[in-house]
Structure 1
């Protein structure tokens, strides 16, 4: 007999089985049917791992890919490396309570209220042992996407270094909302020497009203720089202003998205360039002076990369962490070599970046920007909407152990028999 969703056993008492939103290979495709609630074993933490009872779980685009089985089959990849599980429990954002710790874990105790960052790597990896950035290591993974037993179950298993203190002022759902997108944004903006965001920089932020974009706006503003959002309507623009954007550009005022005409199509190239210049001028109008963004914060990918490279200032950088419109992008290399622009990939977070971001949340400098809160049963629907481009303001979160919204910010944790 498993504990129902919205309840948990007494802190420290770990049941043998749990309920989880499970993806299996024979259901790959539409997230609404790929995700199904099943009973699965509660994972046992390894010596360097922590078992967390999930109170709330954030929804992110990576598990749209996991549910579809593209671009990789995450279950098959793990089985080829010897893992026994024939299912995937995703989820890369969690707030919760520590229920068990491995024998080698120090500094984390049963009963701690925590959030989890998504960077996962092998501590014995030679690259990591040499002191290099662990998110570039051969063993680096995104927890809850490349790994099993993420936050879409009543319990999740994480490496001890991923565990960070939850901001006491936040509810469970608020705390679960921002960490993956926030730490991703922090790395994109602060992780690349010579191109980190600096005071006075103009930073163009695609999808400004979404979970990733709102975190980027706040981080850019906190650095003393100038965030300019790209949105799809005026209401989303107003939402970005609320979180500190200098202004916004409505992408629907332009028609040149996607792969540009081939370089041999002179007339087509001329038409595309005219639209791209209009877009560049719209950004300059927001800033109040004619200079391109030193940083372009990218994640749509295929539809927008050509424009991002075009509008980026000479010597500037386009930094990208995803491809939500597709990942087969085209770049006009003339703008790369003539104006010496940089196209930088960014993935996940390391501990230093994650802890720095979490400190800003705990200090109240960065708001989680909680958008939609949904029941556990609707995790599949939420991923389908995300995959179809149905946007919400801010971040989506599903309640798991929390029986209702508004809990977790006091000293009593309802729903846990604490």
Structure 2
């Protein structure tokens, strides 16, 4: 009788739903999960757009993996998804709901049937992993010897797919998994890959304008998640990063990371759309202010030394200036437009000086693994400025929208 009583006392009761900080038995998948869900009728500010719901845990496809999310990174595409700008993410995948989040660290919880006996799949249930956001078909000519980011099936997980990382469980493709570096915490591992892989491609993906020793790079948003990583990569390459920030405090953070100097953009008034060139006085005043900004760059790099590369993800507020200050034959490479998608520039100033404007989007799997080796070797470190609790997920996005994140990446912890 005592033995039976002990067995009943130690019996594990399996549930259909576990609270956020509860841990189910490894490999047991509850039928339901908590998730922050965006629906088209709720588009707007983060407090309105991100609604906590109980929904069905996703079922796996043949070559998919279920990951229990431990930490999830906050990125600007989550804001776009919530705002429904420039389009509702539901338009990308056709579902009537959307779970944002394009960065995660977690534990492999379930493996699709097509992967269980596949010798090329090196992961198992219980492995601690990082999830990156790049999805491609893996079969077309672009994926095999070309440029995988030109694959017709290429998607950003958590933005163009219905299931992202802002949930207890998420389903991903096998190609999205990397083993978590053992020296990183869940939070560090869950918040860096989207910005890191993106900036790697921006710096190294577009020869002959790629990063080399001695290259001068202007980094907009130098203290942010993308900028903080860029500065480290630029320094590691023996090149020079000039950070542009919105405060001296943020500028000092950039100096700590390895920038050779910083510029506080609040001291200049040349932001926004390019003035009408035919309005000579207005345009003249604008150029005068742009030249002041250019002189600030020279004060750091040397007289008449302009950036070889400008990393721009701000968009409409900065793009005209980027095209002015980059050197003749240099490159403005951009991966987003956090201040607006309608960008203007003086075309004659670009073509007559043979400047290059290059769009960039995430990275290939090869580039991603090459970049991550520097993390594994502790040559680059993720910069996480703040960790938010699960209940604070809308707040974290609001702070990003308000530009009150002081530096680096931020994450949502589920543990």
TM-score over 0.5 for the pair:
yes
Query: How high is the TM-score relative to the length of structure 1?
Result: 0.92
**2: distance between equivalents of 1:7 and 1:136?**
41
**2: distance between equivalents of 1:117 and 1:172?**
14
1:11 to 4, 21, 26: 26
2:67 to 52, 67, 74: 52
Number of the residue aligned with 1:94:
104
* Displacement after TM superposition at 1:384 (Å): 2.1
Instruction: Indicate conservation of the 8 Å contact 1:29/1:68, yes or no.
Output: yes
Number of the residue aligned with 2:156:
142
For residues 93-116 of structure 1, what are the alpha-carbon distances to aligned partners after superposition, in whole Å with 9 as ceiling and x for unaligned? 001111112233311211111111
Q: Point out the structure with max Rg over C-alpha.
A: 2
Instruction: Indicate conservation of the 8 Å contact 1:302/1:328, yes or no.
Output: yes
For residues 19-69 of structure 1, what are the alpha-carbon distances to aligned partners after superposition, in whole Å with 9 as ceiling and x for unaligned? 111111111111111101111111122222211110000000001010111
**2: distance between equivalents of 1:230 and 1:93?**
25
Instruction: Indicate conservation of the 8 Å contact 1:164/1:358, yes or no.
Output: no
* Displacement after TM superposition at 1:127 (Å): 4.1
For residues 294-321 of structure 1, what are the alpha-carbon distances to aligned partners after superposition, in whole Å with 9 as ceiling and x for unaligned? 0000000100000000000111100000
Number of the residue aligned with 2:3:
none
Query: How high is the TM-score relative to the length of structure 2?
Result: 0.93
For residues 244-296 of structure 1, what are the alpha-carbon distances to aligned partners after superposition, in whole Å with 9 as ceiling and x for unaligned? 11110010110110012101011111111111111111111112343111000
Q: How is 1:337-352 mapped onto 2 (pairs within 5 angstroms)?
A: 337-352=351-366
* Displacement after TM superposition at 1:391 (Å): 2.7
Q: Which runs of 4+ in 1 moved over 4 A?
A: none
For residues 4-24 of structure 1, what are the alpha-carbon distances to aligned partners after superposition, in whole Å with 9 as ceiling and x for unaligned? 112221221111111111111
**1: distance between equivalents of 2:285 and 2:399?**
33
Q: How is 1:163-242 mapped onto 2 (pairs within 5 angstroms)?
A: 163-242=177-256
Number of the residue aligned with 1:295:
309
* Displacement after TM superposition at 1:388 (Å): 2.8
Q: Which runs of 5+ in 2 are unaligned?
A: 1-15, 116-120
**1: distance between equivalents of 2:373 and 2:404?**
31
Q: Which runs of 5+ in 1 are unaligned?
A: 80-84, 403-418
- C-alpha RMSD over aligned residues: 1.3
* Displacement after TM superposition at 1:348 (Å): 1.3
- Match of 2:217, SS state, is strand
Q: How is 1:7-406 mapped onto 2 (pairs within 5 angstroms)?
A: 7-79=22-94, 85-105=95-115, 106-124=121-139, 126-128=140-142, 130-400=144-414, 402=415
**2: distance between equivalents of 1:131 and 1:48?**
22
**1: distance between equivalents of 2:130 and 2:47?**
27
Larger relative contact order (CA 8 Å, sep ≥ 6): 1
Instruction: Indicate conservation of the 8 Å contact 1:372/1:392, yes or no.
Output: no
Question: Number of matched residues?
Answer: 395
Instruction: Indicate conservation of the 8 Å contact 1:182/1:212, yes or no.
Output: yes
* Displacement after TM superposition at 1:347 (Å): 0.8
* Displacement after TM superposition at 1:212 (Å): 0.9
**2: distance between equivalents of 1:338 and 1:322?**
26
